[in-house]
Amino acid sequence: MRRLPKSLLLACLSRPLRVRSPLPRLHPPPPPHQARPRSLPFSTQTLTRAPPPPPDAAAAAEAKPAGLVFLEAAELHESEGDHRKALDLALRAIAQLQEPHGGWSLPVARALRLAGAAASRVGLAGDGLESLGAAAEIVDYLAPARRGEPEVAAVGAAVHEQLARAKMAVGRRWDAVGDLRRALELRSGCLDEGSAELGDAYRDVAEAYAGVLDFDKALSLCLKALEIAEARFGEDLTEVAKVRRLLAVIYTGLGRHVDAQEQIELAKMVYEPLGLNVELSQVEIDGANIRILLGRSEEALNDLKREMKRADKESEERALAYVTMAKILSSQERIGDAKRCLEIARGIIDAKDSVNPGRIAEAYAEISMLHESMGEFETSLSLMKKTLAVLEGAKDMQHVEGSISARMGWILLHTGRVAEAIPYLETAVDKLKNCFGPQHFGLGFTYKHLGEAYLQADKHESAVKFLTLAKGIVHATFAPTHEDSIDMNQSLANAYGLMGSYKLAMDFQEQVIDAYKSCGTDSSDDLREAYRLREQLRMKAKGLRHAVFPANSLPVLPERRD
CATH code assigned at 126: 1.25.40.10
Check residue 412 and give its pLDDT.
Answer: 95
Residue 198 in domain? yes
Domain that holds residue 75: 64-190
Total count of domains within the chain: 2
SS3 content of the chain, % helix, strand, coil (to 5): 75, 0, 25
Q: Are residues 196 and 183 in the same domain?
A: no
Check residue 65 and give its pLDDT.
Answer: 57
* Rounded Cα–Cα distance for residues 75 and 62 (Å): 22
Check residue 314 and give its pLDDT.
Answer: 83
Residue 243 in domain? yes
Q: Is the pLDDT of residue 37 over 70?
A: no
Q: Are residues 198 and 171 in the same domain?
A: no
Whether the CB-CB separation of 424 and 412 falls below 8 Å is answered with yes
Most confident among 13-27, 121-135, 341-355, 387-401 (mean pLDDT): 121-135
* Rounded Cα–Cα distance for residues 187 and 203 (Å): 13
Q: Are residues 75 and 158 in the same domain?
A: yes
User: Up-side HSE of residue 280: CA atoms within 13 Å toward CB?
Assistant: 18
| Mean pLDDT within 45-63 | 44
Query: Tell me, what amino acid is at 323?
Result: V
Closest CA to 108 of 148, 137, 83, 76: 137
Check residue 102 and give its pLDDT.
Answer: 63
Share of the chain above pLDDT 70, in %: 83
User: Helix, strand, or coil here: 352?
Assistant: coil
Q: Are residues 142 and 239 in the same domain?
A: no
Q: Are residues 175 and 201 in the same domain?
A: no
Confidence of residue 399 (pLDDT cuts 50, 70, 90): confident
| Mean pLDDT within 68-90 | 87
Q: Are residues 148 and 259 in the same domain?
A: no
Residue 331 in domain? no
User: Helix, strand, or coil here: 551?
Assistant: coil
Q: Are residues 104 and 171 in the same domain?
A: yes
Q: Which of 16-30, 150-164, 226-240 has the lowest mean pLDDT?
A: 16-30
Residue 162 in domain? yes
Q: Which of 196-210, 231-245, 348-362 has the lowest mean pLDDT?
A: 348-362
* Rounded Cα–Cα distance for residues 142 and 135 (Å): 11
| Mean pLDDT within 162-178 | 90
* Rounded Cα–Cα distance for residues 419 and 428 (Å): 15
**Per-residue model confidence as pLDDT tens digits over 93-136:** 888 887 766 678 888 899 999 999 999 888 888 888 999 999 99
Q: Are residues 154 and 239 in the same domain?
A: no
Query: Which of 257, 275, 293 is the C-terminal boundary of a domain?
Result: 275
Alpha-carbon radius of gyration of the chain = 28
Residue 309 in domain? no
Query: Tell me, what amino acid is at 561?
Result: R
The partner residues of 44 in beta bridges, in order of sequence, read 26
Q: Which of 50-64, 157-171, 512-526 has the lowest mean pLDDT?
A: 50-64
Confidence of residue 74 (pLDDT cuts 50, 70, 90): confident
Confidence of residue 294 (pLDDT cuts 50, 70, 90): very high
| Mean pLDDT within 339-357 | 84
Check residue 393 and give its pLDDT.
Answer: 66
* Rounded Cα–Cα distance for residues 287 and 258 (Å): 10
Whether the CB-CB separation of 254 and 284 falls below 8 Å is answered with no
**Per-residue model confidence as pLDDT tens digits over 304-315:** 988 888 888 888
Residue 235 in domain? yes
Query: Tell me, what amino acid is at 200?
Result: D
Whether the CB-CB separation of 398 and 378 falls below 8 Å is answered with no
Confidence of residue 357 (pLDDT cuts 50, 70, 90): confident
Q: Are residues 72 and 185 in the same domain?
A: yes
The residue among 132 and 394 whose pLDDT is bigger is 132
Confidence of residue 547 (pLDDT cuts 50, 70, 90): low
Query: Which of 158, 190, 222 is the C-terminal boundary of a domain?
Result: 190
Q: Is the pLDDT of residue 416 over 60?
A: yes
| Mean pLDDT within 222-251 | 91
